[in-house]
Structure 1
Amino acid sequence: MLILNSCSFPQGNKYSTSGSEANWKSYPALKSDPIIEHPKDKTTSLWTDRLLQCGYQNQRFTPEERSEGTILMKMIEWPKPPKPAVPFLKSSDPSHVHFVIVNSGKTFYVGDQLQVMLRMNDFEGHPKQYGGDYLQGRIHTPALKAGSAGTVVDNQNGFYYINFNLSWPGKVEVSVSLVHPSEGIQALDRLRNDWPERVYFKSTFKSGDISETTVCDLCLPQTEPLCNFTDPRTGEPWFCYKPQKLPCSARINHMMGGYQQKLLKGEEGHYFQSGVNVKKRILPSGSGYVIVEPSPRTGTDLGKCFPGKPLLSPSGFYYQDQWMAKTCNIQRFDTPASITDCLRGKKVFIFGDSTIRQWFEYLIGFVPDLRKFDLGNSPKTGPHLALDINKKIKVEYYAHGKPIRIAPISLQDLPFMANKLDDIKGGKSTVIAFTIWCHFNTFPVETYIRRLQNIRRSILRLLDRSPDTLIVIKTANVQALPRQASLYNSDWYSYQLDLLLRKMFEGIKVAFVDAWEMTIAHYLPHNLHPKRVIIKNEVDVFLSYVCPLKKG
């Protein structure tokens, strides 16, 4: 079964953690002259060494980029269990755990901090002595359709604290879930590093009446002759097995191939049981809520939204189903006219995957005058074009390039995002929105870091030649995790990539739409493709940067 530009498998939380590196499965490097320059200190070249094993021989790294990659790899290290193999009964069991609200008897006011604490136990009810579990927490008031995400602190001794900002008055309930036990994360880490080809792709080669299809991938074992399709502009590698009859130049498209199965070993399968230890709710000990009083302090005007502001955590909260940002005033674009007035004279480029294609679909579905032109492309692949000729609005959508799980798409329709950015003139009438994360969940983290470095370089060039260009980044979002989905698109994979995305664009004149916290904080069940109410809020945040308040 093909997944059409989707990160799902067929059917913000901020941790304070540390850990060690996973083992690496070596792939034969292609024969070419490596351009990567290695410093004498081996520790600073480790991450580029791993890129070489995935075919990145044609990359040029600055000393700053090499150093940055090492720092980022260190930043996302995750605590591991003290032993490589932990019996299932000794693994984390959320049914034996209860959280406690710290100082639950005090009077809380809007603006205060709320903290909950828990100690993880195993299936035998024994306290665990190490950390590494991945938790998500939120506070919410169903009657007010209010919610906010929490920040998780892992003490790495079995104790966890989750901190929340109290942003509205009333009865505020606490929800905590174990997304993955530490033992499951150890398995996910192994899969990501040992099996980067567990999702594979295909391409069709065609010449006249002859057609052949072969397997393709970013990290492709050289078990037979390869076609090297490394992009000449970015140096981003891509490989396909060579067809039997046709030359490599006969390649015409890219498509999803399939999923490798039976990847878990030993007791690892026990760590991925829906309703047992994957996204399993942890119940409170005693009261699971607090009563929050209105704050005697007066609020402040947050002012208009503009790029370059740091992304806080929590970045905002829902109230009456509307997202309220912590850093600026979000406007509500509740009518088609309000959106067309905002986008008048604008050229909007949207790059990414199906989770940001939802923005394009929302806009053309909500605004009648913004008409989609039939370019003969599949709705789930693109590229797509929508125009409002009278108001001189143009909106384009492009998939972000390989790797991407998608229905057959022509090579001409699947450019690398960095190349498209280099081709955009930019200016005050140009708006760029992008996301890139979930299709890298099955690959070594180093490949994602390098892709972001290439994209960032193009963005900096764009801002240098056209500083008035607006660039908005949509962060990752959470999803439902049935058993098999965890092995390919776990929230833990997405969370790590999201941390890297935020860090790599820190201090640059870009704006963020925090889809991560917006999907955790909402009352709707987690869904890779969020429901319309969430997408509407994401688009409101996006447009609040396009058309900030006149005052403030």
Structure 2
Amino acid sequence: MFSPALKAGASGKVTDFNNGTYLVSFTLFWEGQVSLSLLLIHPSEGVSALWRARNQGYDKIMFKGKFVNGTSQVFTECGLTLNSSSELCTYLYGRDQEAFYCMKPQQMPCEALTHVTTMNREISYLSVKEKRLFHKTKVGVEMMKDLEHINVSHCNKREKSTEKCQIGKKTPAPGGYTLRGRWITTFCDQIQLDTNKINGCLKGKLIYLLGDSTLRQWIHYLPRVAKTLKFFDLHGTGPFKKHLLLDAERHTQIQWKKHSYPFITSHLYSVTEEGYIPQEIDQISGDKNTAIVITFGQHFRPFPIDVFIRRAISVRKAIERLFLRSPDTKVIIKTENIREMHIETERFGDFHGYIQYLTLNDIFKDLNVGVIDAWDMTIAYGNNNVHPPDVVIGSQINMFLNYIC
């Protein structure tokens, strides 16, 4: 539901009656001229094909490991599973012993692995007929063409909650809407923070951002609203090195670290500082001034769903261990956002993301964590970009600051 002139938008809610009929409901959050849009992303045959193709194998992405010994270096094939009779190097992570494998190079030890990169394999588990279902013209088809505008008149009834936004509060769907470009929550009283309030909020805080590049966007946005934060050079190369922001005077530290395998990029990234999220959480002692933000999902889409489920459960267990030693530590889960509709549907389509979104909500539902529903938010903003624009990032960060201050 949207009103372009008001820069307003909200997601609808679909109820499936499991008999071929559906109810789509919208809450009228603002007054004025409102338009509705209902897209059929895929027909059910397309969804079935995607689900089967996703869970059929691990080889849509190829990992290459760089081994270095003095001046000599060599690349070998790596992966979450490897079918090979050759000798393998096995790398185990965390208490849950999640594994990553590489073909062992000749005359080099397994410990010589320093970097990894990935590339798409020219492989598909879709038949020629099924591929036609994912042609540009057949994805995201508008189902309610020529629908008249709805004129929403002024209403005195206030649905908005006056209760402060706090961790552990359940997020409904939709959890908010956009108006004049700003995200407005429906389930709690969100304060729009100015520079002074942000600086005060961040004072004495240790903030750990653990995840993918959609969370790295935060660490690049924050110095614009908290001007005293400065990047500290931790050396390293490439966009996926660890990032650190410091304000020594206010004792504020914010760091971003990418999550561990599977991580998909054509850039070489270092494995010597792997940020396997459960392991990272286990290394944080935590206190009332510590906050952890977690997001993962986009890089898991090309792999069978059990990889994502296993990681989500491992993260949950690590959060439970953290709460035992420090129940005051604030943990916020940022769900993944929607992305481009026509790019590599079999590997990265939003159907895979939506299944993960539902799974994540289920696994974390009874934990005392805050949720930033980036899925709902990016639909409301009408943004189909894996890296949303600053207006969306600003809204996510404002929600985060409301949770921690």
Provide the TM-score with structure 1 as the length reference.
Answer: 0.70
Question: Of 314, 326, 345, which aligns to 1:466?
Answer: 326
Tell me the equivalent position of 1:24: none
- Whether contact under 8 Å (1:310, 1:507) holds in the other structure is no
Question: What is the one-letter code of the residue matched to 1:537?
Answer: S
Question: Residues 360 and 169 of structure 1: is their aligned pair in 2 closer, same or farther, counting only changes over 3 Å?
Answer: same
2:118 aligned counterpart, secondary structure: strand
Q: Say if 2:229 is the partner of 1:370.
A: yes
2:261 is the counterpart of 1:402: yes
Equivalent position SS for 1:421: helix
Alignment-mate amino acid for residue 309 of structure 1: K
Matched residue of 2:386: which SS?
coil
Q: Which residue of 1 aligns with 2:371?
A: 512
Q: Tell me how far apart the structure 2 counterparts of residues 348 and 501 of structure 1 sit (CA, whole Å).
A: 22
Question: In structure 2, what is the equivalent of residue 16 of structure 1?
Answer: none
Shift of 1:263: 4.2
C-alpha contact (below 8 Å) 2:241/2:270 kept by paired residues:
no
Map 1:36-185 onto structure 2 (within 5 A). 139-185=1-47
Partner residue in 1 for 2:173: 313
1:293 aligns with 2:153: yes
- Asked if 1:284 is matched to 2:145, the reply is yes
| Correspondence for 2:339 | 479
2:79 to 209, 217, 237: 217
Larger Rg: 1
CA drift at 1:222? 3.1
Contact 1:377–1:384, Cα closer than 8 Å, also in 2? no
Return the alpha-carbon distance in structure 2 between the equivalents of residues 151 and 350 of structure 1. 30
The separation in 2 between residues aligned to 1:323 and 1:439, in whole angstroms, is 26
CA displacement at 1:225 relative to structure 2: 3.0
Displacement of 1:379 in angstroms is: 5.3
Counterpart code for 2:104: K
- Letter of the 1:174 counterpart: L
Equivalent in the alignment of 2:303: 443
- Could you tell me how far 1:260 is from its partner in structure 2? 3.1
Residue 261 (str. 1) matches residue 119 (str. 2): no
User: 1:143 Cα deviation (Å)?
Assistant: 1.7
Unpaired runs of 5+ in structure 1?
A: 1-138, 548-552
Separation in 1, partners of 2:63, 2:282:
27
Q: Deviations over 1:275-298 (max 9, x none)?
A: x1112322336x343222222434
Per the alignment, do residues 389 and 297 of structure 1 end up closer, same or farther by CA in structure 2, a change over 3 Å counting? same
Q: Number of aligned residue pairs: give it.
A: 404
Deviations, residues 443-466 of structure 1 (Å, cap 9, x unaligned): 111121111111111111111111
User: Does the 8 A contact of 1:452 with 1:504 survive in 2?
Assistant: yes
RMSD of aligned residue pairs (Cα, Å):
1.8
Q: Does 1:241 align with 2:103?
A: yes
1:252 aligned partner: 114
Alpha carbons 1:215, 1:257 under 8 Å: kept: no
Please say if 1:322 is aligned against 2:182.
yes
**Alignment check: 8 A CA contact 1:201 1:216 kept:** yes
Structure 2 residue aligned with 1:532, among 377, 384, 390? 390
Change over 3 Å in CA distance of 1:417–1:298 after alignment to 2: closer
Counterpart contact for 1:197–1:220, Cα < 8 Å = no
SS of match in other structure, 1:401: coil
Q: How many angstroms does 1:438 deviate by?
A: 1.1
The CA deviation at 1:207 is: 1.4
Structure 2 regions of 5+ residues with no counterpart? Answer: none
Tell me if the contact between 1:323 and 1:330 (Cα under 8 Å) persists in the aligned partners. no
Change over 3 Å in CA distance of 1:383–1:181 after alignment to 2: same
Identical positions, percent: 34
Q: Is the 8 A contact 2:297 2:336 kept in 1?
A: yes
In structure 2, distance between residues paired with 1:257 and 1:298: 51
State the shift of 1:517 in Å. Answer: 0.7
CA change 1:497–1:223 in 2 (3 A) is: farther
1:310 aligned counterpart, secondary structure: coil
SS at match of 2:143: strand
Q: 1:176 to 1:414 in 2, by over 3 A?
A: same
Structure 1 counterpart of 2:151, one-letter code: I
Kindly state the Cα deviation for residue 195 of structure 1 after the two structures are TM-superposed. Answer: 2.5
Q: Indicate the SS of the match to 2:223.
A: helix
Residue 545 (1) aligns with residue 380 (2): no
**In structure 1, what is the Cα distance between the partners aligned to 2:244 and 2:56?**
40
What is the rounded CA distance, in whole Å, between the counterparts of 2:242 and 2:157 in structure 1? Answer: 50
How much has 1:299 moved relative to structure 2? 4.7
Q: TM-score, normalised by structure 2?
A: 0.95
2:217 corresponds to which of 352, 358, 362: 358
Q: How many Å separate the matches in 1 of 2:238 and 2:218?
A: 13
Asked if the contact 1:229/1:237 (under 8 Å) is kept, the reply is yes
Among residues 85, 88, 91, which one is paired with 1:226 in the alignment?
88
